[in-house]
Structure 1
Amino acid sequence: MADNKQNVGEPDRSRVSGSEDYEVRHFADRHGISMDQARELIAKHGSRRDALDRAAEQLKKH
């Protein structure tokens, strides 16, 4: 299936790119966790922002 050409140039806000330090840093800062913790969450839970947000909240509770 072809890519949706209407979204060209628009960032995908539903994902966190683990290969981009600025995205990992923003995610870590937003949740008050370290970049290493953020990378671990991305490796474990994938790049979907909603799943990562939930995992980060659980991490902060412990």
Structure 2
Amino acid sequence: MTFTKRVQPDRNKIEMNDDYAVKYWTHELGITRSRLQHLVEKVGNSAAAVRKELSR
């Protein structure tokens, strides 16, 4: 039997292909999935960049 260490997700990046990550970020930021997708397309998948854009 082989055990593998589970890798923690990078909380500095927003991975739109990961349903768990999308659910986390939509809840964390208080926005919809479509709004999150739009922001990631606009400023990239950096959580800091998305937060900065939201604060505008």
Structures share fold, TM-score greater than 0.5? yes
Distance 1:32 1:19, change over 3 A: same
Counterpart in the other structure of 2:4: none
Q: Comparing both structures, which one devotes a greater share of its residues to helix?
A: 1
Runs of 5+ in structure 2 lacking a partner?
Answer: 1-6
TM-score of the two chains, using structure 2 as the length reference:
0.70
Alignment root-mean-square deviation, CA: 1.8
Distance 1:11 1:45, change over 3 A: same
Task: State which of 11, 24, 27 in structure 2 corresponds to 1:26.
Answer: 24
User: What one-letter code is carried by the residue in structure 1 that aligns with 2:34?
Assistant: D
SS in 2 for 1:14: coil
Distance 1:44 1:16, change over 3 A: same
User: What one-letter code is carried by the residue in structure 2 that aligns with 1:38?
Assistant: L
- Asked if 2 retains the 8 angstrom alpha-carbon contact of 1:24 and 1:39, the reply is no
Distance 2:11 2:20 in 1: 14
Runs of 5+ in structure 1 lacking a partner?
Answer: 1-8
User: What one-letter code is carried by the residue in structure 2 that aligns with 1:51?
Assistant: A
- Asked if 2 retains the 8 angstrom alpha-carbon contact of 1:14 and 1:49, the reply is yes
The percentage of counterpart residues that share the same residue type is 24
Aligned length, in residue pairs: 51
